[in-house]
Structure 1
Amino acid sequence: MFGDVGHGLLMFFFALWMILNERDSRLKHLQNEIWQMFFHGRYLLLLMGLFSIYTGLIYNDCFSIPLTIFPSAWSVRSMVNHTAFLRDVPSLNLDPVVDGVFNGVYPFGIDPIWHLAVNRLSFLNPFKMKMSVILGVVHMSFGVVLGMFNYLYFGTWPYVLLVFLPELVFLLALFGYLVVLIVYKWMAFGASASRSAPSILIHFIDMFLFTSSPRNAWLYHCQRNVQMVLVIIALLCIPTLLLGKPLYLSWKGRRVMRTRQGRYTSLAENEINTDVEDLEQDLEDSQVNLGDVFMMQAIHTIEYCLSCISNTASYLRLWALSLAHAQLSEVLWNMVLRQCLRRSELGYSVLLFPGFAFFAVLTIAILLIMEGLSAFLHALRLHWVEFQTKFYSGTGVVFVPFSFPPFEDSTM
Structure 2
Amino acid sequence: MEVLKIATAGSVDDGKSTLIGRLLYDTKSLTDDKIEAIKKSSKKKGFDYLDFSLATDGLVAEREQGITIDVAHIYFSTEKKSYIIADTPGHVEYTRNMVTGASNAQASIILIDARNGVIEQTKRHFFINNLLRVKHIIVAVNKMDLVDYNEDVFNAIKSDFEALNGKSTFNKQQITFIPISALEGENVVTHSEKTNWYSGPTVLSYLEGLKAEETYQKSNFRFPVQTVIRPKQDAYHDYRGYAGKVYGDSVKVGDKVTVLPSLKESKVKEIQFFDGTFSEVNEGASVTIQLEDDINVSRGDTIVKTNEVPNSSKELEATICWMDTKKLAQGTKYLIQHNTNIVLSKVDKVAHTVATDYSGIEEVNELGLNDIGKVSFKLSKSLFYDSYHENKSNGSFILIDAQTNTTAGVGFID
TM class, shorter-chain normalised? Answer: under 0.3
What TM-score does the superposition give when structure 2 sets the normalisation length? 0.19
What TM-score does the superposition give when structure 1 sets the normalisation length? 0.19
Instruction: Select the structure that is richer in helix.
Output: 1
Give the greater-gyration-radius structure (CA).
Answer: 1
**More RCO (CA 8 Å, sep 6+):** 1
